[in-house]
Amino acid sequence: MRTLYPPAIDRAFDFAVANSLYDRLAEIGDDLNTLSDAGYTPRLADTWVWAADSLSIAFNLNPRARWHDTQPVRAEDVRFTFRAYTDTAGISVNGSYLSNIDSVSVRDSLTPVVWFKRRAPQQFFDATYHMYILPSHRLAGIPMAKLGRDSLTAKPVGSGRFRFVSREDSKHIDMVSDTGNYRGRAKLDRVVWAVSANLQGATLSVFGGDADFFEKLQPEDLGQVAKSPDLKLLPYLQAGYAFLTFNLKANGDSTKPHPIFGDVRVRRALSMAVNRPASAMSVLDTFAVASFGPAPRMMFQNPAALKELPFDVAHAKALLDSAGWIVPGGKADRGKAERSKDGVPLAFEIVLPNTSKPRLHYATLLADQFREVGATATVRGIETSLMGPAVGMGRFDTYLGALTVTPGLKGMTQSWGGRGVHGLNYGWYANSRFDATVDSALAAFTPSKSSDLWVRAFQVILDDAPAIWLYEERNLGVLHKRIQVAPMRADAWYANLADWSVNPAQRIARDKNSGAVR
């Protein structure tokens, strides 16, 4: 728990809590559509009106919307929020997605107007998704540089269906249902977020009956759930994927191509050496599917239209042969001898954060399968803080990473585009055709045009094989049987927390206590 000040939030846990306390102007639909405003449901904004030239949207705020301290929500709040998110003197980290918004003006006390720099398909998404509206009457007086400091924002006042009660670092955060809320109170009376030191701890709390829900169960603990009469499993989609990216430049020296991975044939060969569905199955059972490219299935309209590299060990070996990586003459032992070319052995390292067990497991499987085609891979888990100095600086051979994807695939330019090579594009992949097609796809206004362009862009990157697209994980939540949940959105399982409820017939002792409002 670092902060509950939305512009400064960078952790999933903090978002989960803030999402219940604050509201957006409008909430994205479960389909995570970012083209136009289809599927969005009203939140603080009841209705909205597009200007004729589509360069601005006027939102009509719900007149009944109130802050938790009973003050009414005003247009000024939206203008202030935009400033808080984008002012570089402050501590906001989430302002970069608002780059297409020029400003927010106030037409009258209930009508903020968002002005855009250019027409783009994601205008509505930009205006609504990234900003949690903040109470200007409480925060406007504080100097920007100090805004967000814990002492000043320790007691968050929002407009959400849950109201903040108390918080003790490393222990818990307490919130209760906001009974007078303009959208109706949350169905749960009270939610306590208990902080655990690690994954296992959180899981133990649920198994021990101390907690009711945890959103990231490990596959090994499945058996435990089956054994327990009170718990049920809750799998849900996650908007992310895991991949093995090749460093296209030399390890530690970006002026030269990588001696092994600079050659597209090697990359394609290694991709074909991996049986991705079987490996995903081995690591995560039925809770993962093989990935097809740099996006999760649910965010891509037409994955079937893509031509993926098949699993074909013979073809992989042939490709490696033709690329000059050959087995030292005469050795005919089961074809597992290490290949080499001009004295350079086909050996490299797979680097990954040591926090993810499934990825570690997958890495060992990769090493096995690479060995089958004569490549020696060693697996090395490193600490997350070292990702920057190691991977971020290009000092690696291959990196097993995972990304969560924001709706609309806007992050594509950062993750795999030429512009991202100093950012998240660790492997230095830069293909101008890919970049151009992605830009066009992001600028496409209709779903069909967008889908076509994305398919074309993805085909380019799939052919280039700068990475092996490993798997998409389904998240496993574990839940106490008496809790009934609302649909879990892939980008935010907590999005509909206010609609979760306790089955009255299955109440336990603790539930009686929860009725008390402290």
Partner 1 sequence: MSRASGWTRGSAADASSLAVTVAGTDGNVRVTSERTNWHRPVALLLLFMGLVLIAPSFAPYDLAQQTTVSATKNQAPSLLHPMGTDATDRDVFTLVLRGAQISLSIGLGSVSIALLIGAAYGALAAMLGGWRETLLMRITDVSLAVPRFLILLAVTSISVKAFTSLQLMLLIGCTGWFGMARLMRGEVSALLQRDWVLAAQATGVHRLRLAVHHLFPHLVPMLLVFTTIGIGHTIVLEAALAFLGAGGSGASLGFLLHSGSSIFASTWWLAVFPGLAIVLLVFACNALGDALRDVFSPEQVHSWPTT
Partner 2 sequence: MLARLLQGVAVVLFAASITFFLIKALPGDQFSERSTNPNISAETLARFRARSGNDEPLLAQYWIWISSAAQGDLNRSDIFNKPVARVIGQHLPATLQLMSLAFVASMVGGIALGTWQGTATGSRAERLSGAVSLALVSIPEFWLAMILLLVFAINVHWFPTQGMSNLNHDGTVVGIILNRLHHLFLPWLSLTLLDIAVISRYHRAAMRDVMGQQFLRTARAKGVPEHHIKWKHALRVAVLPIITIAGLYFPALFVGAVLIEQLFSWPGIGSVLPQAIASRDYFLVAGIVVVGSAMTATGSFLADVTRERLDPRLRR
88 Cβ contact list (under 8 Å, min separation 6): 95
Of the pair 501, 514, the CB lying nearest partner 2 is at: 514
Distances from the Cα of 387 to the Cα of 154, 171, 401, 406, 469, angstroms: 31, 29, 10, 21, 20
Listed ranges 76-84, 162-170, 288-296, 498-506: which one lies at the site for partner 2 (CB under 8 A) = 162-170
By CB under 8 A, residue 492 contacts partner 2: no
Site residues (CB under 8 A) for partner 1? 198-200, 203-204, 207, 218, 220-224, 275, 278-279, 281-282, 285, 354, 357, 361, 364-365, 368-369, 380-383, 385-386, 389-390, 395
Interatomic CA distance for residues 121 and 63, integer angstroms = 29
Q: Which of residues 272-301 bind partner 2 (CB under 8 A)?
A: none
The per-residue DSSP string of 350-391 comes to EEEETT-HHHHHHHHHHHHHHHHTT-EEEEEEE-GGGHIIII
Q: How far apart are CA 36 and CA 120, in angstroms?
A: 9
Q: Which is nearer to partner 1, 363 or 490 (CB)?
A: 363
Residue 146 contacts by C-beta under 8 Å, 6 or more apart in sequence?
152
Strand 45-50 relative to strand 41-42, pairing: unpaired
Under the binding rule (CB under 8 A), the answer on residue 192 touching partner 2 is yes
Paired strand residues for 471 = 242, 290
DSSP-derived secondary structure for 192-207: EEE--SSHHHHHHHHH
Near partner 2 in 401-420, by CB under 8 A: 401, 403-406, 411, 414-415
**Rounded least distance, CB 327 to partner 2, Å:** 37
For position 506 contacting partner 2 by CB under 8 A, the verdict is: no
CB of 282 to partner 1, least distance (A): 4
Smallest distance, partner 2 to C-beta of residue 466, A: 17
Residue 281 partner contact from partner 1, partner 2, none using kind-dependent CB cut-offs of 5 to 8 Å: partner 1
Pick from partner 2, partner 1, none: which does 228 bind, CB < 5 to 8 A by kind?
A: none
As measured in angstroms, the least distance from the Cβ of 401 to partner 1 is 17
3-state secondary structure of 167: strand
* Phi–psi pair at 10, nearest 5 degrees: -130, 5
The smaller minimum CB distance to partner 1, of residues 88 and 170, is found at 170
- φ, ψ of residue 515 to 5 degrees: the values are -65, -25
CA distances from 127 to 18, 133, 511 (A): 18, 11, 39
Cα–Cα dist 304/454, whole Å: 12
| The pair of three-digit structure tokens given for residue 293, joined into one six-digit string | 């490219």
Q: Closer CB to partner 1, residue 51 or residue 386?
A: 386
Selection from partner 2, partner 1, none that 387 binds (CB < 5 to 8 A by kind) is partner 2
Between strands 347-353 and 398-404, the pairing is parallel
Residue 126 or 473 having the CB closest to partner 1: 473
**Which residue from 13, 29, 16, 23 is spatially nearest to 489, judged by alpha carbons?**
29
Contact between 505 and partner 2 per CB under 8 A = no
- Residues 73 to 102: which contact partner 2 by CB under 8 A? 88, 91-97
| Residue 192 binds which of partner 1, partner 2, none (CB < 5-8 A, kind-dependent) | partner 2
Residues in the chain: 518
**Structure-token pair, residue 374:** 């004569």
Angle at 361 between CA 358 and CA 366, to 5 degrees: 120
| Residue 382 interacts with which of partner 1, partner 2, none, CB < 5 to 8 Å by class | partner 1
CA distances from 52 to 107, 240, 458 (A): 16, 36, 34
Which of residues 31 and 383 has its CB atom nearest to partner 1 in the complex? Answer: 383
Binder among 229, 388, 504, 505 for partner 2 (CB under 8 A): 388
Q: Does 360 help bind partner 2 (rule: CB under 8 A)?
A: no
Find which of partner 2, partner 1, none residue 406 binds, CB within 5 to 8 Å per kind. Answer: partner 2
Measured from the CB atom, is 370 or 416 closer to partner 1?
370
Q: Which two tokens stand for residue 350?
A: 């797979």
Position among 31, 69, 108, 169 found at the interface with partner 2 (CB under 8 A): 169
Q: Does 171 bind partner 2 (CB under 8 A)?
A: yes
Query: Which residues lie near partner 2 (CB under 8 A)?
Result: 1-3, 8, 10, 88, 91-97, 148-151, 168-172, 192, 194-198, 201-202, 204-205, 207-211, 383-390, 392, 401, 403-406, 411, 414-415, 422-424, 509-510, 513-514, 516
